[in-house]
């Protein structure tokens, strides 16, 4: 009984300690930090949304988005901006570390922040919209898209009292600025060399949220709480890359081709199937030119046709040309962020061509080889006469008796004969000539 009381008292003490610790943490000022490094794509929407929710629920003084991006998709950018604008906790976009940039979509996200900050030796700008597919944008449509983007960024800049003219020029003329120029032009609010300095500079700053609620940041001695991507988020973000998507598509092509030409290997087919599904997901996150996909599919068809029909390289040459052109235009017309590395295209093309050449060589060799099973295996082989061939009789071959017909006159028992052809269950033979 005494032991039970001790256990109950220990549990009560532990719960009390945990509740006190949680209360102390809740009262301790803290800021949450998200890190975005790379292209803006749909995977980041869930990451930012989760980060904002955690900051709101934990009572964080602010959410800092550390940003380093060359740009990305317009749709993903707008969804992230909506999350920032509607956040109930101040959002600080911090272009960092040194050497980072906020280009294209990153400009919009920085301008939309409640507080915009840059680290030394960073840059912002070049937000001119580009086509998100392979087709050319007609003049009137391009003007509409440009005007829409310019109006959008002016509205974001006006909301936070930032330089609307520069923001519009970043869209229309692709102007850029360093951190010191951006601060002087009133594009950003401050420059900070690191997160600790930034958190200290934020203390006492007033921020107006969407509902006109004015919040005074109290970040002195605040705890910096890093909120990294979850494993699945990191994985999905990693494969939503044009080079990774292209590599997955290439692995899928080789795996499925090897499985088709070598049924029963299983492993290449499984790897190819998984790679194909991941490639579909990745391509779904990217601005794909469907003409490029069709050319790659055509290349695969030509490669398969080469193996099945053996056109002595005609289909292979056509497949290589289709593969290279399809690879080059797979994301043609999109932002440079969504371009495939030419060296990767060259490597994949050489690898697929090499694998295909090996498969074709094996197929041709198999066709040229004499059959190892069935009646064709008998032709050219030597048998022994059991019952004299006059011209019909019986021969003995590999422990079996066969009816035989001599095409070389009478042949006596015990003599060796060579099988010329097979007709049903009858062998047609000639007398074996002695070796001189």
- The residues assigned a catalytic role are 104, 144
Query: Which backbone phi and psi does 395 adopt, to 5 degrees?
Result: -125, 160
CA–CA distances in Å: residue 58 to residues 22, 54, 270, 322: 10, 6, 44, 54
| 8 A C-beta contact, residue 326 and residue 345 | no
List Cβ neighbours of 21 (8 Å cut-off, separation of 6 or more): none
Query: Which backbone phi and psi does 227 adopt, to 5 degrees?
Result: -120, 90
Find the helix or strand (DSSP H, E) in which 283 lies: helix 267-284
Find the helix or strand (DSSP H, E) in which 152 lies: helix 139-159
Find the helix or strand (DSSP H, E) in which 406 lies: strand 400-406
DSSP string, 289-318: -HHHHHHHHHHHHHHHHHHHH--TTHHHHH
Place of tokens 């973000």: 237
Dihedral through CA 178, CA 182, CA 187, CA 189, nearest 10?
110
ω into 224 cis (within 30 of 0): no
């Amino acid at each position: 009984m005494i032991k039970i009381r001790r256990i109950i008292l220990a549990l009560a003490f532990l719960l009390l300690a945990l509740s006190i610790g949680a209360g102390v943490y809740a009262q301790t000022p803290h800021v949450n930090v998200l890190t975005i490094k790379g292209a803006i794509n749909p995977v980041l929407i869930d990451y930012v949304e989760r980060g904002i929710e955690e900051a709101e629920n934990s009572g964080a003084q602010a959410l800092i988005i550390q940003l380093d991006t060359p740009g990305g998709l317009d749709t993903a950018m707008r969804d992230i901006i909506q999350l920032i604008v509607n956040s109930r906790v101040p959002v600080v976009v911090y272009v960092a570390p040194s050497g980072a940039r906020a280009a294209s979509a990153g400009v919009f996200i920085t301008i939309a922040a409640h507080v915009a900050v840059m680290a030394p030796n960073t840059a912002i700008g070049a937000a001119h919209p580009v086509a998100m597919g392979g087709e050319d944008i007609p003049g009137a449509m391009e003007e509409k898209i440009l005007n829409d983007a310019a109006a959008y960024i002016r509205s974001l800049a006006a909301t936070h009292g930032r330089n609307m003219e520069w923001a519009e020029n970043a869209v229309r003329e692709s102007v850029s600025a360093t951190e010191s120029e951006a601060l002087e032009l009133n594009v950003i609010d401050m420059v900070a060399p690191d997160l600790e300095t930034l958190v200290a500079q934020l203390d006492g700053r007033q921020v107006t949220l969407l509902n006109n609620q004015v919040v005074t940041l109290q970040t002195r001695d605040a705890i910096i709480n890093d909120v990294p991507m979850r494993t699945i988020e990191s994985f999905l973000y990693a494969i939503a890359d044009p080079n990774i998507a292209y590599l997955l598509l290439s692995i899928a092509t080789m795996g499925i081709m090897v499985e088709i030409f070598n049924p029963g290997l299983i492993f290449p087919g499984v790897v190819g199937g998984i790679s194909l599904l991941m490639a579909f997901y990745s391509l779904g996150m990217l601005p794909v030119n469907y003409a490029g996909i069709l050319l790659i599919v055509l290349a695969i068809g030509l490669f398969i046709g080469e193996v099945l029909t053996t056109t002595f390289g005609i289909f292979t040459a056509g497949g290589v040309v289709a593969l290279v052109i399809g690879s080059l235009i797979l994301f043609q017309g999109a932002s440079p962020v969504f371009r495939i590395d030419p060296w990767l295209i060259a490597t994949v093309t050489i690898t697929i061509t090499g694998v295909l050449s090996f498969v074709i060589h094996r197929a041709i060799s198999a066709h040229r080889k004499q059959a190892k099973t069935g009646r064709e295996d008998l032709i050219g082989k030597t048998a022994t006469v059991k019952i004299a061939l006059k011209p019909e009789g019986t021969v003995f071959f590999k422990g079996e008796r066969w009816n035989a017909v001599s095409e070389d006159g009478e042949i006596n028992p015990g003599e060796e004969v060579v099988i010329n052809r097979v007709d049903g269950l009858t062998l047609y033979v000639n007398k074996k000539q002695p070796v001189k």
